[in-house]
Structure 1
Amino acid sequence: MTSRILHAATGSNLTAQGWAQEAAIRMLHNNLDPAVAEHPENLVVYGGTGKAARNWPSFDAIVKSLTNLKDDETLLVQSGKPVGVFQTHEWAPRVLIANSNLVGDWANWPEFRRLEHLGLTMYGQMTAGSWIYIGTQGILQGTYETFAAVAQKRFNGTLQGTLTLTGGCGGMGGAQPLAVTMNGGVCLVIDVDKSRLEKRIETRYLDEIADSVDDAVERVLKAKSLGLPLSVGLVGNAAELFPLLLSMDVPIDIVTDQTSAHDPFSYIPAGIDVHSAAQMAKDDPADFTKRSQASMAKHVEAMVGFMDKGAEVFDYGNSIRDEARQGGFTRAFAFPGFVPAYIRPLFCEGKGPFRWVALSGDPKDIYRTDKAVLDLFPENEGLHRWITMAQEKVAFQGLPARICWLGYGERDKAGLAFNDL
C-alpha cells in the first residue's frame, strides 16, 4: 500500500499554468490532509468509502494533468481517474468530474463493487471526489440549520433543555454534537470507533467522552436539567445501545442517526469488532451485508420506539430506513427524512450552502471574508449568529475555510464582494 502524508501548498507561488488549475491541485491535496481526511492512506476522505481519487496512480496522473493543463483546456475526470484533456476556452470549466454513475438495472451495490474491484470506479460521496471537502465544517452549517428547524418546529425555537441521541461521529456525523450545542441543546453521540470521537474532541466538535453508558446518561441528564449545552461521546454500537437506552427510559427528546448506513460494508454489525469488520466484509460480503441489515433493523426499531414515546425522530439521509426494511423491520419508514421535514422550506426560499477556501493558508483571509459577508447582509440575524459562533467554536481543518447558507441572489453578491477585497 502506498502511504503518503499530503498537505496543500499555500502562499502565492504557482505550480500550475493558472490559478484555477492551482486551486484544483491544492484542494485535491487538502482533501487528503491528515487533519481533514478519515483514512488518507487509502484515499478515503469521509463517509467510510468516499474517495478523492481512484488509486494512487490515478492521483499522480490527476496532479500531472492539472499541472500541465492550459488556461484554454478542460480536464475530464471519471470516478477518480483522468481520462481526457479537451481544447475548450478561457471561460469553460478547467475540470469536469463525474463520480459513481451507474444506470438502470446496474445501479446496485454488487455491480458497483464488481467494477470497483476491477479498478473501474470509486465512490466519490459529495465533496470527496469533487475535491472541495473542508472538514466537518462543510456539513456543520446544514446540520446546524436542520437542528434549528427542529427547534423551531417542536421546541419553541431553541434546543435548550432537550437531549438528542444520535449515532455516527465521523466526517459527516461529527457535525451533529456541535450543531446541537450551538442550538443550546445536549447531545449524546454513539460511535463504534473511539478514534473518531477523539478526533472530534481535538477539533472542538465534541465536548467529552464518557467511560460507560451509566456515566454518559448521568452527564447528559445533568446538563439537560440545568439547561446547559453539552455534547458527550460514547463508544459502542448504536444497534445495541439505542435499544438499551430505550429500555432504560432515558428521557430523550430528539433521535436521528448518521452512521455509514448507506453502505452495509461501512456499517459495523452488532457483535463485530471495528478493526476486523473490513476483512470480514471482504471474506464473506453476503453474510456481512445480512448481519449489517439485521443490526440496522434493531437500530431503527429502537428509533421508532423513541418516536412512539413522543420523541422527534428523523432520518438524516443515510438510507438506514431502507436498509432496516431489507433487514426485516416493517415499520422502518414510520419517521420522515430530514429534507421534507425541515430543510425543504429553506430550499423553497432559494437558500443553500455556499463555501469558500483561503488558498493562501492564512486564517486572516477567512476573517476578512466573514466581515465582508456580515457587512453585506446586516439584516440576516441567522447568518450573523452562525458566523459569530463559527469563529468562536469551529476549528479549521487543513486550509482555512468557511461555509454559510445564503439565499437566492445572495451568493453572487458575496462572490463579487470577495473579488473586490
Structure 2
Amino acid sequence: RGQAARSWRAFDAIVAELKRLEVDETLLVQSGKPVGVVRTHPDSPRVLIANSNLVPHWATQEHFDELVSKGLMMFGQMTAGSWIYIGTQGILQGTFETFAECARQHFGGTLAGRLCVTAGCGGMGGAQPLAITMNEGTCLIAETDKTRLARRVETRYLDEIVEGLDPAIDRALLCKANGEARSIGVEANAIDLLERLIERSVTPDVLTDQTSAHDPLMGYAAAGMSLAEIEAMRVESPGAYTERSLDSMARHVRAMTALHRAGSITFDYGNNLRQRALDRGVEDAFSFPGFVPAFIRPQFCEGRGPFRWAALSGDPDDIATTDRELLQLFPDDQGLARWIELATERVAFQGLPARICWLGQGQRAEAGQLFNRLVAEGRVSAPIVIGRDHLDCGSVASPNRETEGMKDGSDAVSDWAILNALVATASGASWVSFHHGGGVGIGFSQHAGQVIVADGTPEAAERLQRVLTNDPAMGVFRHVDAGYDEALDCANEHGLRVPMESGS
C-alpha cells in the first residue's frame, strides 16, 4: 500500500505548490501532505519529504494503522513516497543480479535446467519470473490474484498461466527437463504450492518468496481463503484477519525450511517473512539467509546499487539514447551490456519511460554528467531525472534485509540512513526523502532516498557531481566502518577520506 500522496486532495495541493515554487524555495511534505514552504537557496532541494516515521517506542503496525485511519499518516514504502517509482522495472535489475549471483555461486553461472519456485506477482514480486528467465532458468510462481498474473503476461514479465497446481508443476518440470527459459504462473496460495511440492517430493533448485509479508493486514493472503473472503475479512475483522495471516506465515516458512532441508537453495527476498514466522514460534525460521548477505553485499561494499533515470519528455527515444550512450561510457562492463540488451528487448515501460541499472562509486557521477551533456546538447528532448531505490548500499537500516548479518553486528544502527539523507540535502539533490518501514514493515527499517534533475546547465553539473559522488560514498563509508576490506579498498581507490577504519 505504498503511496505518493496521502489523499487526492493532498496530491492536488502538492501539484499546485510545485507549479508555483520559486528557485529558492523548498516544499515540505509530511507523510504525503504538503505542510509548508520555506525560503532556502537555489542549490538546496526543492522538496523535502518525511514518510511514515514514528518515535521508536510507538513504531508498531497497530499504532501506525490507527494514525492512518485518522488521516494523519501514510505508508510511503520506498520509491512511491519518494516520487521515483518506475513500476516493476525498478526492482528488476536487482532481482536479475540476485539470481545471477545465485547461479554463479551454485550452478556454474546459469540457471538453465534449474527450477526456481517463488510466490507474489505484484508490483515488486512480478519482477521475479522475468529475472529468472533472463538468467535462463525455469520459474514457477504462485499468486492469489489472477489479475496480477494476467497483468504480468501483458507486460511480458510472465510467459504463461497454467490452471491448477499439478498441471502447473508438471509444466514447470517439463520446461526444466528441456532446459527451457520459461516462466509459469499459477493462481494459488504460496503455501498450497509449497506443500504440494513436498507431497510430490519435488525439490526446487532455488526457492524464495516475495509475497507482501511486510503487511499482514492489507498485503499477505492468508491460507484457506478465497480472495473475496480475504478482502471482506480485512474490512470486517482486521484484527482477526491479521492473526490468521500471521499463522499462515508460520506455516509458509515451515514449508520453506522443509524444502531447504531437502536441498533447495533457499533465501528470504526481503519481505520479513522469517521474522513474522519466528514471532509465531517457528524457531528455525532464520535457518536460511536473506538475499543481501547471500548474494548482494559485495556489491554494496563497492558503492554499487540501483541507479535509475526517467525521461521527463515522455519520449521512449530519449531512453534509447541514454542506453546507447551509457554503453559507450562503460564499454568494458559486460554485465551492464547484457542487462541493457535484455531490458531493451523485454522490459515494457510503466509510466514515464525509464531505465535502471546497477552502478558503483565513480560510475554514478560519470553517468550523471553524461546525461546532463545529452540534455545540454539537445540529444534528448527534455531533462532527465535521476534517482534510486532506497534499497541501496548506504541508505537503509533494515536488520532483516539490507543490513542483515553485518560483520560488526551493527545491523540495527540507523544513523547511516539519517546521514545519507543529510548528505544528499547538503550536496544539492532536487528532492530528498526519509522513510520508515519500507520493504519489511513498520518497526523494522529506516531508509533515505534522493532524486536529482539533469537539466543541462552548468549548475546542475556541479550538483550532479556532488550528489552522485557522495550518495554511493555513504555506502562505502558504512561498510568500511563495519569492517569490510572490500569497502576499504574501494575507498582507497576512489580517494574517499575515512578518518577511522573501523567502528570502534
Superposed CA deviations along residues 112-168 of structure 1, whole A, max 9, x for unmatched, are 011111111011111111111111000001000000111111111111110010010
| 1:321 aligned counterpart, secondary structure | helix
Shift of 1:289: 1.3
CA distance, structure 2, for counterparts of residue 219 and residue 241 of structure 1: 14
The residue aligned with 1:284 is 237
Shift of 1:251: 3.4
CA contact (8 A) 1:193 1:274 kept: yes
Residue type of the partner of 1:257? D
2:63 to 111, 126, 130: 111
CA distance, structure 2, for counterparts of residue 290 and residue 100 of structure 1: 23
Shift of 1:103: 2.0
CA distance, structure 2, for counterparts of residue 81 and residue 276 of structure 1: 33
Residue 328 in 1 paired to residue 293 in 2?
no
| 1:110 aligned counterpart, secondary structure | helix
CA contact (8 A) 2:161 2:186 kept: yes
Residue type of the partner of 1:223? C
| 1:157 aligned counterpart, secondary structure | coil
Report how many residues are paired.
Answer: 373
Residue 221 in 1 paired to residue 169 in 2?
no
CA contact (8 A) 2:3 2:74 kept: yes
The residue aligned with 1:361 is 314
Residue 71 in 1 paired to residue 23 in 2?
yes
| 1:50 aligned counterpart, secondary structure | coil
2:271 to 295, 311, 318: 318
Residue 412 in 1 paired to residue 384 in 2?
no
| 1:51 aligned counterpart, secondary structure | coil
The residue aligned with 1:43 is none
CA contact (8 A) 2:326 2:367 kept: yes
TM-score (norm 2): 0.73
Shift of 1:230: 0.4
Superposed CA deviations along residues 46-84 of structure 1, whole A, max 9, x for unmatched, are xxx111111111111111111111111100111110011
Moved over 3 A (4+): none
Residue 61 in 1 paired to residue 16 in 2?
no
Residue 188 in 1 paired to residue 188 in 2?
no
CA distance, structure 1, for counterparts of residue 280 and residue 160 of structure 2: 33
TM-score (norm 1): 0.87
CA contact (8 A) 1:162 1:186 kept: yes
CA distance, structure 2, for counterparts of residue 247 and residue 406 of structure 1: 43
Pairs within 5 Å for 1:12-411:
49-265=1-217, 266-411=219-364
CA distance, structure 2, for counterparts of residue 165 and residue 271 of structure 1: 20
CA distance, structure 2, for counterparts of residue 193 and residue 250 of structure 1: 24
| 1:346 aligned counterpart, secondary structure | helix
Unmatched runs of 5 consecutive residues or more in structure 1: 1-48
Shift of 1:279: 3.3
Shift of 1:245: 1.3
The residue aligned with 1:37 is none
RMSD of equivalent CA atoms: 1.0
Residue type of the partner of 2:109? G
CA distance, structure 1, for counterparts of residue 296 and residue 87 of structure 2: 22
| 1:325 aligned counterpart, secondary structure | helix
Shift of 1:398: 1.5
Which of structures 1 and 2 has the larger relative contact order (alpha carbons within 8 angstroms, sep 6+)?
2
CA contact (8 A) 2:203 2:262 kept: no
CA distance, structure 1, for counterparts of residue 284 and residue 264 of structure 2: 16
Shift of 1:297: 0.9
| 2:308 aligned counterpart, secondary structure | strand
| 1:318 aligned counterpart, secondary structure | coil
Shift of 1:325: 1.8
CA distance, structure 2, for counterparts of residue 149 and residue 406 of structure 1: 16
| 1:242 aligned counterpart, secondary structure | helix
CA distance, structure 2, for counterparts of residue 105 and residue 81 of structure 1: 24
Shift of 1:393: 0.7
Shift of 1:241: 1.8
| 1:188 aligned counterpart, secondary structure | strand
Superposed CA deviations along residues 191-220 of structure 1, whole A, max 9, x for unmatched, are 000000001001000000001112111211
Residue type of the partner of 1:71? V
CA distance, structure 2, for counterparts of residue 414 and residue 168 of structure 1: 33
Shift of 1:328: 2.8
